[in-house]
Every structure is written in structure tokens, then in C-alpha cells.
Structure 1
Amino acid sequence: MPAENRGLRVTRAVAAGFDGHAAAALHPDLRTFTADLARPYGLPLREDLLDAGAGHDYGEMGAALLERALPGGEPADLLILAFSSPDVRPAAPASLRLSSHCPGQPTAFAVCDQGSAAAFTALRLAAVHHRTGGCRRAVIVLAEQSALHHEAPEPVDLPAGHRAVVLVCEDAPGEGLRVHRQDQPDGARALRSVRDEHRRLGPDAGLLLSAALSAHGVPDGAEAARPGQPFTGVWTLLADRLDARRPLLVADHDRRLGLLSTLTLP
């Protein structure tokens, strides 16, 4: 008798914005660390943001959502923090702090330096880990905060606010989530690729687009994330639209890195 086909599925998603700032944003280590990073590139510090203590702590933001994401205290086997904009606690790995707040104290690490693709990489790694048999529940924490404490070397889309999303992925019968990434520097061509992929899923499949992709058009039946949250926007939309009764395609395009990423939820 053939073994039952099982996969990792996104079963829950919660999202929230955060006001104010974290105490860590006023810690002198943030100024020292940022200055060390920016000095070789001749980038001046944003003294106004450092003096005001602007910015939020990814550990605090994620911990505030974990209880909502795991209300019954279900233990997780894996926790991955993914982010694009820098944290305000550079010397303290937020993923390890989050593990201590998560039931089960799961294995934890972070994914960064991949732009918007970091969220998709985290999900792909969780699916790979699941296939080893050592992960029945994974928690993906996605976070962005709005303060960049040095001048950017080129124009960048900074978040309008501090926001975090937690995705709970669990072992389930049937096909699991699928992540696909391709090099695609052109946003309009990226959107055409997404439309083709969505069409192959059938007429009942939903399509969620990041604000970056929807700038090139919104196909009939698709929904687009609001501008202002370049990393968490489409995942906030997923938290509002997650529905196990129909397939979903989630898509984002990172213009600076020329990467198109998609997530298929069967």
C-alpha cells in the first residue's frame, strides 16, 4: 500500500502593526554598530532618527504575535525570522529570542539580505525541513520596521510603519506549499509570468500580488497589497485571505535584485 502523501501547509496567519518605538532604538550600541557599517561606504548617519530613538525591535514585534498565532500553546519544531530592513538590535539575534518565547523552543535562525525574496526562502526552507521528517509545525516570522539609521546609497522603498506577520505551517495530508524563484529584472515581464502561473492553477485559484507587482497592473480577480509595506504587505493580505478551500498564488517582485518569487498554496 503506498505511503500517504503529506506536505507542509500554511494553516494560520496573523498580522499587526506596531506604534511607537522600542527601547533598543535608543541604545548607544545601535549608533556604534551603524556607524561601523556605514563608514567604509562614506554614508552619513541619520542623526535625527538616532536621537529620536526611531525604529522597532523584531524580537518584541514577533513575540507579541506568537501567542495569537499559537493560542493553544502548540509547540513548534522550527522558527524562521525573515526580514529585509535592518533590526534595531543588531547584536542580539532576534530569532533566538523568539524561540524562547515560542512553545517548544524550536530550532531557530534568520533569513535576510534577499530583499522581498527572504520570506519565500524561509517558507522553502521550512518545506525542505519538513521533508526530513523532523518538522511537523514551523513558524515563519516576517518583520519590517521603518527606520533606516544611515543615508541610503540609492533610492529605496522604506516601510511606512512597523509591521510583523506570523505564518504557522503544519504537516497535513496531500500536497504541500510550493515556492518558486526566478531571475527577472523587468517588473512587467514578471507580472506576465505570474499570470501564466496563476492560469495553470485553474479558474478557482486566488492571486495575491505585492504592491511592487501591482504597479504593472492587476489582473482580473487578483488582489493587490496596499503600498507602504514593501516586505510584509502581501503577507498581511494573505493573513486576511487565507482560505483552505481554494488554491492561492502569492507573488512578489524585488526590482533592485531582479527576483520574482511565488508561493503556491494548494
Structure 2
Amino acid sequence: MPAETRGLRVTRAVAAGFDGHSAAALHPDLRTFTADLVRPYGLPLREDLLTEGAGHDYGAMAAGLFEQALPGGEPADLLILAFSSPDVRPAAPASLQLSRHCPGQPTAFAVCDQGSATAFTALRIAAAHHRTGGCRRAVIVLAEQSALHYEPVEPVELPAEHRAVVLVCEEAPGEGLRVRQQAEPDGARALRSVCDEHRQLGPGAGLLLAAELASHGSPETAGAASPGQPFTGVWSLLADRLAERLADRLPGHGALLVADHDRRLGWLSTLTLP
């Protein structure tokens, strides 16, 4: 008799916004690190933000969400911190700091420098790690903070607020999550590709779009993230949708497709949740 298929699924998600700033935003190491980072490119520092201590550190933001995301101290085997905008504690590995606060003290590392695709890459890595047999529960921490302490080469969309999302992925019977990533420079074509993928999932499948994708138009049945959170927006939407599912406020629990497109990098990413 064939062995039962077991995959990794996103079973719950917690999202929260944060006001104010953290003490790390006033640490002199932030100025030193940022100055070293931009000096080869001749980019000016944002002296106003450095002086006022704008920004929030990702470790502090996410650590307070573990109790809600992992009730009863459920232990995790793997923790991945994924971010697009820089942290305000550049000299301290926030993923390792978070592993000490996370039940189970899981293996931890960070993924970055892939724009909005970073979150999907983290999920793809978690699924691959699960297939090795070494991960029954993974925690994916997604974070963005609204301060950029230097002038970018070209205009970029900054988050409207500091925000973190914690995704809990657990082993369950049946097919697990699937991540697809591909080069796609054109946003309108990216949306058409997502809609085709959504139709292939069959009747009853849900669709959640990041704000950039939804700006090209979207089906009436799709959920669209509000503008203002370029990295965490669609994942906050997913947290709301999963909460509705758990509360049985949604009819049926068909497949769910989550999609984001990074315009600057020309990269399309989708996540299918069975």
C-alpha cells in the first residue's frame, strides 16, 4: 500500500502594524553601516531620519507575534526571516535573535534582496526542507519598515507603516503548498498569467493579488491588497482570509492562489495553497 502523501501547508497567519520607532534606529552603528553601504554609489544619507531615529527593527516586531502564531508554545523546526527593505539593526542577525524567542529554537536564517519575490522564495525553501524529512513545522517571518535611511537612485515605493506577518506552515496529509516563480517584465502579462493559473485550479478557488498586480485590473472575485505595503500587503490579506476560513465564514475551502509581481525586478511569483 503506498505511503500517505504529506505536504507542508500554511495553516495560520498573524499580521500586525507597529507605531513609533525602536531604540536601534538611534544606534550610531546604523549611520556607520548605511554610510559605508552607499558611499561607492555617491548616494546621500537621510540625515533627518537618522537624527530622529525613524524605523523599527524586525526582531522586535516579530518576536511579539509568536505567542499568537504558536499558541501553547508549539515548537518550530525552521524559521526564515524574509524582507525587502533594510532592517535598522544591520550588524545583528535578526533571524538568529528570533530563533531564541521562537518555541523550539529552530534552525534560522534570512532571505532578502529579491524584492517581493523574497516571501515566495522563503516558502519554496521551507517546502524543500520539509521534503528532506527535517521539518514538520516552519515559521516564515515577513517584515518591512517604513524608513529608508538614504536617498535611492530612483523613486521606490516605501511602506506606509512598519508591519510584520508571521506564517505558520505545518505538515498535513495531502498535497502541500506550491510556489511558482518566473521572469515576467510586463505587469499586464503577469496578471493574465495569474488569471490563467487561477482558472486551472477549478471552481471555488480563491485568488489574492498584491496591489501592484491588481493595479492592472482584476477579476471581481479576487481579493486585492490595499496599496501602501509593497512587501507585506498581500500576506496581511492572506492572514485575514485564513482567519475567515478558521471561523467558517467562507463557504467551501477550495484552493487559494496568492500572487505578486515585482515590477522593478520583472519577476512574477505565485503560491498555491490546496
Normalising by structure 2, we get a TM-score of 0.96
Q: Distance in 2 between matches of 1:115 and 1:148?
A: 15
Q: Distance in 2 between matches of 1:41 and 1:207?
A: 40
Q: Which amino acid aligns with 2:256?
A: L
Q: Which amino acid aligns with 1:25?
A: A
Q: Quick check: 1:198 aligned with 2:195?
A: no
1:81 corresponds in structure 2 to 81
Runs of 4+ in 1 over 4 A off after TM superposition: none
| DSSP-derived class of the 2:72 partner | coil
Backbone CA RMSD of aligned residues = 0.7
Q: Which amino acid aligns with 2:268?
A: L
- Residue by residue over 1:67-113, the C-alpha shift from the partner in whole angstroms, topping out at 9 and shown as x without a partner, is 11001101000000000000000000000000000000000000000
**What aligned pairs does 1:13-24 form with structure 2 within 5 A after superposition?**
13-24=13-24
| DSSP-derived class of the 1:250 partner | strand
> Gapped runs of 5+ residues in structure 1?
none
| DSSP-derived class of the 2:237 partner | helix
**How many pairs were matched up?**
266
1:255 corresponds in structure 2 to 263
What's the % identity of the aligned pairs?
Answer: 83
Q: Quick check: 1:11 aligned with 2:11?
A: yes
> Gapped runs of 5+ residues in structure 2?
247-252
How far off its partner does 1:168 sit?
0.2
- Residue by residue over 1:32-66, the C-alpha shift from the partner in whole angstroms, topping out at 9 and shown as x without a partner, is 00000011000000000000100000000110111
1:47 corresponds in structure 2 to 47
How far off its partner does 1:148 sit?
0.2
- Residue by residue over 1:138-193, the C-alpha shift from the partner in whole angstroms, topping out at 9 and shown as x without a partner, is 00000000000000101111101100000000000000000000100000000000
1:184 corresponds in structure 2 to 184
Q: Distance in 1 between matches of 2:213 and 2:114?
A: 17
How far off its partner does 1:220 sit?
2.4
| DSSP-derived class of the 1:72 partner | helix
More off after superposition, 239-248 vs 99-108: 239-248
2:249 corresponds in structure 1 to none
Q: Quick check: 1:219 aligned with 2:216?
A: no
| DSSP-derived class of the 2:35 partner | helix
**What aligned pairs does 1:1-266 form with structure 2 within 5 A after superposition?**
1-242=1-242, 243=245, 245-266=253-274
| DSSP-derived class of the 2:65 partner | helix
Q: Distance in 2 between matches of 1:64 and 1:55?
A: 17
| DSSP-derived class of the 1:147 partner | coil
- Residue by residue over 1:6-25, the C-alpha shift from the partner in whole angstroms, topping out at 9 and shown as x without a partner, is 00000010000000000000
Q: Which amino acid aligns with 1:261?
A: S
- Residue by residue over 1:193-222, the C-alpha shift from the partner in whole angstroms, topping out at 9 and shown as x without a partner, is 000000000120000000000010011210
Q: Which amino acid aligns with 1:251?
A: A
Q: Which amino acid aligns with 1:166?
A: V
